[in-house]
Chain A
Amino acid sequence: MPEGIFCNKKPINTEEDLKALLSDTRGTKYYEEMLSLEVDREKLWDTIQKTCKSRLRTWLDVCARCGLCADSCFLYLVNDCKPEQVPSYKIQSTLGEMVRRKGDVDNEFMRHAMEVAWSRCTCCNRCAMYCPHGIDIGIMMGYTRGLLYSQGFVPWELKIGAGMHRVYRAQMDVTTEDWVETCEWMAEEQQDDWPGLEIPVDKEDADIMYTCNAREPKHYPEDLAEAAILFHIAGENWTVPSEGWEQTSLSMFAGDWEACKLQVQNVYAAIDRLKPRRVIGTECGHAHRATVIEGPYWAGRPDGQPPAPYIHYVQWVAEALRTGKLKIDPAKRIRQPVTYQDSCNYIRNWGLAETAREILSYLVEPGYLIEMTPNKEHNYCCGGGGGFNGIGKFRPQRNKALLTKRDQILSTGAKLVIAPCHNCWDAIRDLEEEYHIGIDWSFLKPLLIKMVIIPDHLKPQDEEGDEA
């Protein structure tokens, strides 16, 4: 059987196909079909010739095989230093072989490559800082994922994820209607505590357009409410677009570049339509990577800039604290051992390490912040990045990968981990559920709401006009 009903080379483009694939619980049939999925060798070699150019070819060819990348990789270290986990080996035995064999690889090879690409690399890019030649295996593994995706060798959840973006322009089945309703509902819910609070939809020329992660409206809409409350307290003139509000991209994890482009174009169209002064994304690492860091190139913007300045949530928080738009009640500062989880996507790969520390200087009583080792740009991945969190087939490998972060957190002695990234937040939640180390974990928004001083004029008034 060259092409399966579920497992094939065709991307998911319709709701019907999406539902059909979702009905194949845990991808049982999907992975069965994958066993006999044929490789289109000609197309594979053709794609490699067209897209594997200078930078990647040189990285593959010039690798000195010195092994310095080994110790830079948390998956190598956490998997008992198995040589098969050496980054250079992982890429040379997959992409390197595809190139050397001119695409002449079989089904078994591709299934193995899929396992390597999605369970032995989280595309954290840490190895790039440790290689004498500056070889970034994470970038190459991302590229390899694209080749595998185009041949149908992609984990079931990510085929669905990419399909979601193609069908709904969101990683989950949240329609424009659902989204706008959620915004209205959340604004309404808050009226008792926050009279006058709004979640303005499609307001043109606002100072801020806010974008988020579809999981927020879908599973924890209170996050959206919290964002609204903080903008309300800070007195920001903000809006959300009815279309183009979803900032994430599971298609990036899947290697579905076409869907990546469709997704980011949707957000950029909202920017063009509403003309905000700038855009602020939620507390998510990969969403920032997809829409701000890589997105411009997918959308064909050679300067690498989105249509309007686009910042990460931590940048807005740091600025709001610095300028006094948000003021922290000194009595409410964190007075328990706390640590910070540096997200690979906006710390190592976008340079916000010190911005995050600036926030912590406002939120944490001096002496209570204990940094992880290593930290900032050198920090290890949470253990669930690059799509690892969401792939059932690789759950045992993911759980093993969480041990690195568990031990990093344990050696700080912190009881609270601040993790302004959905992936990191999930991984830390999962490691607590799996290994019970007695920690709490949090995004910034709920912490800020607990600590921020509420200006008198925003407090609810009773009938006599007194504060309730």
Chain B
Amino acid sequence: MYAFLTGPMLWLSFAIFVIGCAWRVVNYVKGLSWQLDRVPYGCNKDLAVKGALRSIFHWLIPYASASWRQKPVFAAAFFLLHIGLVLVPIFLYAHVMVVAERFGVSWPTLPDGLADILTILAVAAGVFILLRRFGLSEVRIITTPHDLWIMAISLAPLVTGFVAAHQAGDNSGWLLAHIVTGEIWLIAIPFTKLSHVVLFFCSRAQIGVDFGVKRGGQRGRGIVW
């Protein structure tokens, strides 16, 4: 079981994740239309690239957009959750060791203590975002079961991984749970709203081009952060 989950199943999960995400991006770009979107794709390339990059940058950097500054607590929760979900798994010592053993490549890792803190903060941020969904009427009204599911799918590998790493004695059960939930998470990404892993960049680049070329960029304005 363990061999299957860390062997073929892991390969399959990564393959579905990578190919699925690539398919979402290709599909997105193919479906863009200058006439339907009323955006001059392919024109003013310098402004377009500048608009797209600025549009992404201002939302990836904490408090670099007016909206983040207006909602400082939610912004903090957002960044903590995403740091825990994206950076911690990639730079976790235990993960890098597995890769090093199998493929002989490695990269710098996070100190375990810091990884622990970031994981706890990410889970706490996820729980906060869930509670916020029910606490604020403007968020409650737009919340769907899908939004709850993807949060559960995303937090499960963090929680199981944390317990597996800290449980004394035999932890194979938690480790298995961690691997399974991690694989579910990877597989879910292309097929759910988690596809924002790539579509965030597509959508932000698109609106960046729209404002950066058509709606103000040619006059030195555009989205004002």
Contacts and interface: CB of A to CB of B under 8 A. Distances in A.
A357 to B, nearest CB: 12
A132 B67 contact: yes
Given A129-B67, A134-B55, A62 B200 contact: yes
A213 interface: no
B66 A129 contact: yes
A20 interface: no
Interface in B67-93: 67, 70-71, 74, 78
A302 B224 contact: no
B20 interface: no
A134 B215 contact: no
A133 B66 CA distance: 14
Interface in A22-60: 51, 53-55, 57-59
A376 B66 CA distance: 13
Interface stretch (B96-104, B139-147, B152-160, B167-175): B139-147
B139 A64 contact: no
B59 to A, nearest CB: 6
Contacts of A135: 203, 207
Interface stretch (A85-93, A186-194, A200-208, A241-249): A85-93
Contacts of B28: 54, 58
A293 B193 CA distance: 32
A466 B17 CA distance: 86
A68 B74 contact: yes
A83 B141 contact: yes
Given A55-B37, A294-B38, A304-B40, A65 B67 contact: no
Contacts of A350: 215-216, 219
B106 interface: no
B208 to A, nearest CB: 7
A397 interface: no
A32 to B, nearest CB: 32
Contact of B221 (A54, A59, A64, A354): A354
A353 interface: yes
Contacts of B196: 62, 64, 133
A89 B141 contact: yes
Nearest to B129: A66
Interface residues of A, number: 55
Interface in A342-370: 348-355
Nearest to A143: B36
Nearest to A86: B138
A54 B30 contact: yes
Contact of A57 (B31, B215, B216, B218): B31
B31 A377 contact: no
Contact of B207 (A134, A293, A305, A352): A134
Given A86-B142, A88-B142, A350-B219, A58 B203 contact: yes
Contacts of A64: 147, 193, 196
Contacts of B35: 297, 300, 302
Contacts of A62: 193, 195-196, 199-200, 203
- B: interface residue count bin: 35 or more
Contacts of A70: 138-139
A352 B213 CA distance: 14
A88 B216 CA distance: 25
A54 B198 CA distance: 14
Given A129-B67, A293-B214, A66 B32 contact: no
- The CB with the most chain B CB atoms within 10 A, among A62, A86, A136, is that of A62
Contacts of A447: none
A303 B66 contact: no
B178 interface: no
A378 interface: yes
A184 interface: no
B147 A65 contact: yes
Contact of A86 (B133, B141, B219): B141
A377 B74 contact: no
Interface string B10-53: 00000000000000000111111111111110110000000000
Given A65-B133, A89-B142, 4 more contacts: A84-B141, A128-B211, A133-B203, A304-B34
* 4 nearest A-B pairs in the assembled complex, by CB-CB distance: A351-B216, A54-B31, A351-B221, A134-B207
Interface of B: 27-40, 42-43, 55, 59, 66-67, 70-71, 74, 78, 133, 136-144, 147, 193, 195-196, 199-200, 202-204, 206-208, 210-211, 213-224
Interface of A: 51, 53-55, 57-59, 61-68, 70-72, 76, 81, 83-84, 86, 88-89, 92, 128-136, 293-294, 297-298, 300, 302-305, 348-355, 376-378
